[in-house]
Structure 1
Amino acid sequence: MNTVNKGFNALFKELKQYSVNYTDLDKLIVVKVSTQKLYLINKGKIVNTYNISTSAYGTGSKVNSFKTPLGKHIIAEKIGEDLPFGAILKGREWTGSIANIIKKPIDTDFDLVTSRILWLAGTEKGFNLGPGVDSKSRFIYIHGTAEEGLIGKPASDGCIRMYNDDVISLYSKVDINTKVWIL
């Protein structure tokens, strides 16, 4: 068995441990913080694997922590349909500007949201849903970034960053209410 299959088997074993019935779901997104990978799963099969970047501050759900929340989520909103590659979004609206994509591993002073937004809502009351820990109120997104050179290592302020081409691709393959597990 090659290392890729071992990795997938480990992922599926971990999903079973959390009682995720991934074989019955048409679509499931799994974000694996430890490997900085996002998996799109369809009826028990991994159909896409993407490199990502989660929080530079680690994992956690507290408001103002700048950490990536763990647990069960859903895609609450999809924003950016038909926007151009690298479109800069502020307050979930296109500014009319296009980002200069940085391919080198440079951390800028800004955390641009680009191309598409998949806005996540937690589903576990007191953990990632509700006062003080609410993922949607914290504006936790899966989104494109101008800092593509940092993809593959923790660098965000809590969101899940993707390459712009990848987030555009993922956006077209998922729907509102698609389940998202962040492990």
Structure 2
Amino acid sequence: MLEHIESIHISLPDQRLTAYGPSGEKWSRPVSTAANGPGEANGSGATPRGAHYIRACIGGGQPYGAVFVGRRPTGEIYSPELAARFPERDWILTRILWLCGRETGFNRGGRVDSMRRFIYIHGTPDSEPMGVPASHGCIRMRNDDLMALFDAVTPGVPVTISTDDRH
């Protein structure tokens, strides 16, 4: 794992997040983006494209599998039993990296604002598939991978979400 991440690229075609360190070293992991594909509009359930940055790192110090609702820990720890009790929940687990768009009119402001759409990189149950689009717009990661990423980023790190698989 990288000690310090300077930028992140998310490839929608590859369903991969690649993080880059100061000397160009790479760390890459599978993700799951929106089942509805790419798109910027509020209410679309799609993953927004373009230049973003990490606006906030939420959940430091919370236990592995901590459940978040409205960016706040509920005090619950994810389990299959909890999932059976709340089958309608879109599980946001362990940590949250809240994204903010940089491109006014495309992914920032008005009906296309990634931050107001609550677009995150977040943990998900291990039972959820990686490498295939299945989220409601966010970027889902395995909890172990997210914890490693969280520990290596700070607010302000640039994140590019692309339909171009070349990085």
Q: If the length of structure 2 is used for normalisation, what is the TM-score?
A: 0.87
Alignment of 1:54-73 (within 5 A): 54-73=33-52
What letter is aligned with 1:27? E
Tell me whether 1:113 sits opposite 2:92 in the alignment: yes
State the percentage of identical aligned residues. Answer: 41
Q: Aligned with 2:31: secondary structure? A: strand
Write the deviation string for residues 5-48 of structure 1: whole angstroms up to 9, x where unpaired: xxxxxxxxxxxxxxxxxxxxx61000001011000012362431
Aligned residue pairs, count:
154
Q: Report the Cα distance in structure 2 between the residues aligned to 1:101 and 1:128, rounded to whole angstroms.
A: 35
1:54–1:177: structure 2 CA closer, same or farther, 3 Å change rule? same
Unaligned runs of 5+ in 2: 82-86, 163-167
Alignment of 1:113-152 (within 5 A): 113-146=92-125, 148-152=127-131
Write the deviation string for residues 137-175 of structure 1: whole angstroms up to 9, x where unpaired: 000000001254311110000000000011111000011
Q: Report the Cα distance in structure 2 between the residues aligned to 1:160 and 1:171, rounded to whole angstroms.
A: 14
Write the deviation string for residues 49-72 of structure 1: whole angstroms up to 9, x where unpaired: 111000000000000000000000
The corresponding residue for 1:76 is 55
Tell me whether 1:95 sits opposite 2:70 in the alignment: no
Q: Report the Cα distance in structure 1 between the residues aligned to 2:125 and 2:78, rounded to whole angstroms.
A: 6
Unaligned runs of 5+ in 1: 1-25, 103-107
What letter is aligned with 1:144? G
- The CA RMSD over aligned residues, in Å, is 1.8
What letter is aligned with 2:116? S
User: Who wins on radius of gyration, i.e. which is larger?
Assistant: 1
Q: Report the Cα distance in structure 1 between the residues aligned to 2:139 and 2:80, rounded to whole angstroms.
A: 17
Write the deviation string for residues 68-117 of structure 1: whole angstroms up to 9, x where unpaired: 00000000001000111110000111100011269xxxxx6431100000
